[in-house]
Amino acid sequence: MNVDHLPVMSREVIEVLAPFEGGTYIDATVGLGGHSAMLLQKIGQDGKVIGIDRDDEALARTAAKLGDTRLILRKGNFSDMESILHTQGLDEADGVLLDLGVSMMQLKDLGRGFSFNSKERLDMRMDSSQELSAWDVVNEYSERELVRILKEYGEEYRAVKIVRSLLHERNKKSIDTCLELAEIISRSTGRHGKVHPATKTFQALRIEVNSELDELKKGLSAALRVLRKGGRFCVISYHSLEDRVVKHFIRENAKAEVLKQLMKKPLIPGLEEIRANPSSRSAKMRGAEKL
Ligand SMILES: C[S@@+](CC[C@H](N)C(=O)[O-])C[C@H]1O[C@@H](n2cnc3c(N)ncnc32)[C@H](O)[C@@H]1O
């Protein structure tokens, strides 16, 4: 496994989910199978891991890499985990893991149009069979919709300015590549500091294209439904919008005495992990147990 595929906060995931022999676990974002591989080591011959991902390529690579009859891989959105579990003849799970966002493979390997310094076509779909892509959002959404998305999903205070320059350019010709979009944004806002001025816009587009926050809310509710009493879930998120959704979900359900919050503050990766795997640096993990 190369460094890019090190599963984030794997020690903490195992501590929180406490997998046991014969248990059933849902790895709802199986990706390249890093966390699944660790779960498989803990569940004995009779345990099962249901690995879900919306990305065909991730599933194919994980199947080839792990090839284990205890790992059942299914394509789908994690909001559908309940029906995916039922199609396996199972009613409940002992643990659910959500490791949100995109994988390094999607960001770098596949030319999926996520990175602002690439000449790839604006795409950003995790599921390549989905219709809506970032190209459609950038070239076809109205000014109002774009401003809303940039403000809501990117927390971009320069949303109006950026969207005006985007509209100005797309009236001349369509904005086709990541680099074209990033340059339009740089020209509109100027470059200050270390963070690329297109960062927030790209985050907002990705969230819109993949309905990430909606999926997360539905996925958390689905996790709660499929867990047995005493079962646990844990979520690793990578930006504050996601973490906020997870925090509120756990708080509300803890108040209603449906969940027990397992940690008050989110866990974060240690310095050693960040050094070995810099892409883990923004990770935050929260977990809860079903009462
Ligand atoms: C950070 S990666 C997971 C990495 C994985 N834990 C590992 O160890 O290799 C996130 C994965 O979740 C998938 N994903 C994101 N949102 C999803 C959703 N709503 N439903 C299903 N899969 C999703 C992405 O396609 C990506 O492969």
Report the candidate in 105, 116, 90, 114 with the shortest Cα–Cα distance to residue 53: 105
Identity at 47, one-letter amino acid code: G
* Residue 1, pLDDT score: 36
Residues with CB under 6 A from ligand 1: 5, 7, 29, 31-35, 52-55, 58, 77-78, 99, 101-103, 126, 215
Mutation to probe ligand 1, out of 1, 5, 6, 29 (largest number of atoms < 8 A from CB)? 29
Report the candidate in 103, 16, 121, 119 with the shortest Cα–Cα distance to residue 51: 103
Distance CA 79, CA 36 (A): 19
Report the candidate in 31, 74, 71, 68 with the shortest Cα–Cα distance to residue 49: 71
For 220-264, the pLDDT digits (tens) are 999 999 999 999 999 999 999 999 999 999 999 999 999 999 999
Report the candidate in 241, 206, 239, 234 with the shortest Cα–Cα distance to residue 219: 234
Contact 138, 205 (CB under 8 A): yes
If one compares 94 and 196, the residue with the highest pLDDT of the two is: 94
- At residue 3, does pLDDT exceed 80? no
What atom in ligand 1 is closest to the CA of residue 34? 8
Edge-first strand listing for the sheet containing 284-290: 71-75, 48-53, 24-27, 93-99, 227-237, 284-290, 259-261
For 70-94, the pLDDT digits (tens) are 999 999 999 999 999 999 999 999 9
Mutation to probe ligand 1, out of 103, 279, 280 (largest number of atoms < 8 A from CB)? 103
Atom 1, ligand 1: residue with shortest CA distance: 103
For 145-187, the pLDDT digits (tens) are 999 999 999 999 999 999 999 999 999 999 999 999 999 999 9
Confidence of residue 117 (pLDDT cuts 50, 70, 90): confident
- At residue 110, does pLDDT exceed 90? no
Distance CA 192, CA 190 (A): 7
